[in-house]
């Protein structure tokens, strides 16, 4: 495990000297099987896998769960090494944001939709830290989970706009047997909340099936909102059917032949905010 940019650079240089390509999986720790599947995916593409563990303060607003975000660095490092990571980068806040840092990355428009409406700071913090991590690690490939679909698309756009020579790969959402998407924040759910939390996936799955058989997009989305609230979610931030590339809402009506559609949702189970998404 390395903590400084200098040690990281030396470790990556040693791997490159062997002729290895570098695959990168950024994480905030509290790892679950979904993270390990991203490490495996990076390992399929590159000889050397680097993972980072950094709970990024700039993507949390005051009052969010930065302080209580689950942390288990020792366990995570062991899990990553077992999964085949050659280098685990655990930088400090000072290493990522040197004293007096003034530079941020903003992917306009795409960061202000969907989750960006409810967490206006969030994607600016994500883009900033991911750009900094890319500069530190200098990977050939970086893997991000499709569970955070908006994040994945924003990072693709940032890479395109800033000309990073990095291939961005999406890893399939890892789900529990009942369909609930794995997330570090699932640890906040009580047993009773957990038993109802998969309704967000059920509602999206049903809406995707309905859209596939020609039901107008807005009707299917309205039904999904009803199902999520009926399952006992205390608040619904959004259910939307969007164009996957631009993240813009689709026009109402049945989906045209060959038209791409992604359903995204965010809802609160008690005090835990869950997000999920599904391709149609």
| Residues 141-160 close enough to bind ligand PAF by CB under 6 A | 148, 151
Q: How many residues bind ligand PAF (CB under 6 A)?
A: 10
Scan for tokens 């830290």, then name that residue.
129
For residues 137 and 207, which CB has a smaller minimum distance to ligand PAF in the complex? 137
Which of residues 43 and 125 has its CB atom nearest to ligand PAF in the complex? 125
Judged by CB under 6 A, the chain residues 45 through 84 that form the site for ligand PAF are 56, 59
Residue 115 among known ligand-binding residues = no
**Options 105-113, 125-133, 156-164, 220-228: segment touching ligand PAF (CB under 6 A):** 125-133
| 30 belongs to the binding site for ligand PAF (CB under 6 A) | no
- Closer by beta carbon to ligand PAF, 169 or else 199: 169
Residue tagged active-site, from 35, 121, 136, 205: 35
Q: Does 26 bind ligand PAF (CB under 6 A)?
A: yes
Query: Least distance to ligand PAF from the beta carbon of 82, Å?
Result: 20
Residue 166 binding ligand PAF, by CB under 6 A: no
Annotated binding-site residue? 113: no
Would you call 205 a catalytic residue per the annotation?
Answer: no
Positions touching ligand PAF (CB under 6 A) are 26-28, 56, 59, 126, 129-130, 148, 151
Known catalytic residues are 35
């Amino acid at each position: 495990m390395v903590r400084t940019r200098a040690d990281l650079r030396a470790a990556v240089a040693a791997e490159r000297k062997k002729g290895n390509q570098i695959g990168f999986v950024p994480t905030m720790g509290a790892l679950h099987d979904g993270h390990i599947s991203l490490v495996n995916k990076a390992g399929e593409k590159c000889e050397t896998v680097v993972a980072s563990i950094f709970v990024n303060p700039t993507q949390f607003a005051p009052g969010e769960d930065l302080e209580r975000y689950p942390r288990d660095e020792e366990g995570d490092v062991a899990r990553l090494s077992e999964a085949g990571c050659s280098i685990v980068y655990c930088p400090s806040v000072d290493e990522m944001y040197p004293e007096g840092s003034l530079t941020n990355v903003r992917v306009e428009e795409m960061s202000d939709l969907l989750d960006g409406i409810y967490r206006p700071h969030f994607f600016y913090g994500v883009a900033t830290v991911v750009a900094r991590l890319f500069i530190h690690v200098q990977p050939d490939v970086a893997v991000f989970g499709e569970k955070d679909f908006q994040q994945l698309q924003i990072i693709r756009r940032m890479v395109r706009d800033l000309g990073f020579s990095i291939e961005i790969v999406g890893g399939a959402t890892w789900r529990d047997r009942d369909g609930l998407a794995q997330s570090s924040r699932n640890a906040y759910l009580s047993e009773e909340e957990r038993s109802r939390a998969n309704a967000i996936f059920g509602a999206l799955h049903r809406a995707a099936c309905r859209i596939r058989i020609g039901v107008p997009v807005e009707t299917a989305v309205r039904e999904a909102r009803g199902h999520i609230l009926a399952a006992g979610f205390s608040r619904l931030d959004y259910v939307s059917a969007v164009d996957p590339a631009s993240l813009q809402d689709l026009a109402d009506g049945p989906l045209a032949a060959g038209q791409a559609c992604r359903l995204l949702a965010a809802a609160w189970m008690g005090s835990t905010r869950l997000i999920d998404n599904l391709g149609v």
